[in-house]
Copies of this chain bind each other. A is one copy, B any other.
């Protein structure tokens, strides 16, 4: 990169080299994983990408490497369609799996059902969300099988399910085991359903399970995955992974039409390639998961109770107002989580959560 403005040299250097560990308090904001900054490797990749010109709209070198990189990661040929937000990845990713007359079965608490406005119907040309229940925000294969089996199509009149969507890791921080995803995939095949996986926190699930990414995706019957990176160290990118190459054309058109095609596409690619490099995605996720477990122990010894055993990077805690206030006074930031209970709170750890400080909480919290 031509530094045509040399006076910036020292300013930029300062940003990267200052010893912040000493001068700044550790990040104790557990309100979400999207409050985190970009992790250094990805920031470096963005900076490195700013060295020269590059073709736009995905024609640049980095973007051209995506299919191969993810194909290698998943052990099968995939198409990658990157977008900047998780919501876009879900909406655009789902749009190729359902007709304007069809339904998408999901858990009541699914992000696509609760927190994406009317986006699914918007991108789906009218497609309807059919919410079902399940413990800990997970869809159980048996319940799904019953639900799909009981549905009687009323020809043109009814909205018939065409697709099932599950979130891995779920909105309650729980993880589908390999066998659980396989069971759901089997039920989908039995009933002729497509299968979509909202993987905003996919990395955390793989880190927990220690499985191959293929085991909980295409090998289990997943057709499309939104492979999240924004919550796990990136600036803003989520990759739609198409396990069925026939979906590429429609997905790319849907992306463009929705306004999600980046002209400086290389910056999405650079983030993703750095994310995959040397398993950064897994390292970041493992760290976040470990931090959640450490936080669980610390909070439990302070008198709190975990609503679910954290399987990913999210921790749902029950505690009384007093303890909540003590934690806040100690500088922790976290949100109440009413959908679990009036005394429930959510803590989300991330790639930069300070495990040592977290472990020391029982001693430091007043």
Residues on the B chain within 8 Å of A99, using CB: 253
Number of copies: 4
Q: Is the CB of A236 within 8 A of B262?
A: yes
Q: Does the CB pair A43–B46 fall under 8 Å?
A: yes
Interface locus among A48-56, A183-191, A294-302, A314-322: A48-56
Nearest CB of B to A108, in Å = 11
Interface size on A, residues (CB 8 A): 96
Determine if A16 and B12 form an interchain contact, defined as CB atoms under 8 angstroms apart: yes
Say yes or no for A213: interface residue by CB 8 A criterion: no
Q: Does A107 contact B (CB under 8 A)?
A: no
Q: Which residue of B lies closest to A56 (CB)?
A: B34
Binary interface encoding of chain A residues 104-131 relative to chain B, with 1 for a CB under 8 A from any of its CBs, else 0: 0000000000111111011101111100
A38-B46, A92-B259 given; 5 more Cβ-contact pairs under 8 Å: A12-B16, A35-B55, A115-B157, A118-B127, A231-B263
Q: Which 7 pairs from chain A and chain B are nearest by CB?
A: A88-B259, A34-B263, A37-B50, A156-B256, A118-B126, A29-B53, A117-B257
A interface with B by C-beta (< 8 Å) = 1-5, 8-9, 11-13, 15-17, 19-21, 24, 26-27, 29, 31-32, 34-38, 40-41, 43-44, 46-56, 83-88, 90-92, 99-102, 114-119, 121-123, 125-129, 152, 154, 156-159, 230-231, 235-236, 252-264, 267, 333, 338, 352
